[in-house]
Chain A
Amino acid sequence: QVQLVQSGAEVKKPGASVLLSCEASGYTFTNYFMHWVRQAPGQGLEWMGVINPSGGSTSYAQGFQGRVSMTRDTSTNTVHLQLSSLRSEDTAVYYCARADGNSWSSAIDFWGQGTLVTVSS
């Protein structure tokens, strides 16, 4: 069965960077795009970007341009999210979420368990 296992909670200081991981299993890793979505405490869902694990191409939300990087490691079936210049507003649960296909038009069908990132001095 499809599993997305995310790395553990992080506590970071303002200005620092964080690297999150999401290990996929139960399906062919390179056949499905992977999205990242975050949720601030008590707030709604915010789309951050998407990566094509096959070739590594990405598309990011405008609000994260210059601060975000999504990469993949096909040897370990893992996608990574790096977010830099952290500020308190980046405190959130970060989800990786698998697309339901390998095209840019595909939707999201399965979510990881989430990783809490706390940014505090």
Chain B
Amino acid sequence: DIQMTQSPSSLSASVGDRVSFTCRASQDIRNDLDWYQQRPGKAPKRLIFGASSLQSGVPSRFSGSGSGTEFSLTISSLQPEDVATYYCLQHNNYPRTFGQGTKVEIK
């Protein structure tokens, strides 16, 4: 199975800050990596697909980058509504595997 490791597990930042977090795959997954946002008590919502493509309707302050084994998600200007846990998911192989999540809070 492909292991997905996210870091950090949590972070706290101020409104307007630029924040980034990473997802590392245990083997090359090309760009078969998506990012999801899960607000408290809600279902996940896809933000980024194919490592760097913005899902329709998602604010442009979200961006993704990377390929192979190293990926990152960046929020260019953190907003209060971005408080959530963010998960990466590899769809290069089965079983599909998620990272353990990065919880984002407002300082």
Interface positions, chain B 11-29, Cβ under 8 Å from A, are: none
Of A10-18, A75-83, A109-117, the one with at least 4 CB within 8 A of chain B: A109-117
- Chain B nearest CB from A57 CB (Å) reads 12
Answer yes or no: A27 CB below 8 A from chain B CBs: no
Q: B96 near A47 (CB under 8 angstroms)?
A: yes
Chain A positions within 8 Å of B46 at CB level:
107-110
Interface positions, chain B 57-99, Cβ under 8 Å from A, are: 87, 89, 91-92, 94-99
- Chain B nearest CB from A70 CB (Å) reads 14
Q: Which residue of chain A has its CB nearest to the CB of B101?
A: A44
Answer yes or no: B100 CB below 8 A from chain A CBs: yes
Q: A107 near B32 (CB under 8 angstroms)?
A: yes
Q: Which residue of chain B has its CB nearest to the CB of A45?
A: B98
Answer yes or no: A90 CB below 8 A from chain B CBs: no
**How many A-B residue pairs lie within 8 Å, measured between CB atoms?**
57
Answer yes or no: A32 CB below 8 A from chain B CBs: no
Task: Tell me whether A35 and B96 are in contact in the complex, defined as CB-CB below 8 angstroms, given that A108-B89, A108-B91, A111-B44 are known contacts.
Answer: yes
How many chain A residues touch B (CB < 8 A): the figure is 23
Q: Which residue of chain A has its CB nearest to the CB of B96?
A: A47
Give 1 or 0 for each of A86-121: 1 = CB within 8 Å of chain B CB.
000000000101001000111111111110000000
Chain A positions within 8 Å of B43 at CB level:
95, 111-114
Q: B96 near A109 (CB under 8 angstroms)?
A: no
Q: Which residue of chain B has its CB nearest to the CB of A95?
A: B43
- Name the contact of A108 in the complex, choosing from B34, B38, B92 (C-beta under 8 A): B34
- Name the contact of A59 in the complex, choosing from B32, B91, B94, B99 (C-beta under 8 A): B94
Q: A106 near B91 (CB under 8 angstroms)?
A: yes
Q: B97 near A109 (CB under 8 angstroms)?
A: no
Cα–Cα distance between A65 and B43 once the two chains are bound (Å): 25
Residues in B lying within 8 Å of A, measured CB to CB:
1, 32, 34, 36, 38, 43-46, 49-50, 55, 87, 89, 91-92, 94-101
3 A-B pairs with least C-beta separation: A111-B43, A47-B96, A107-B91
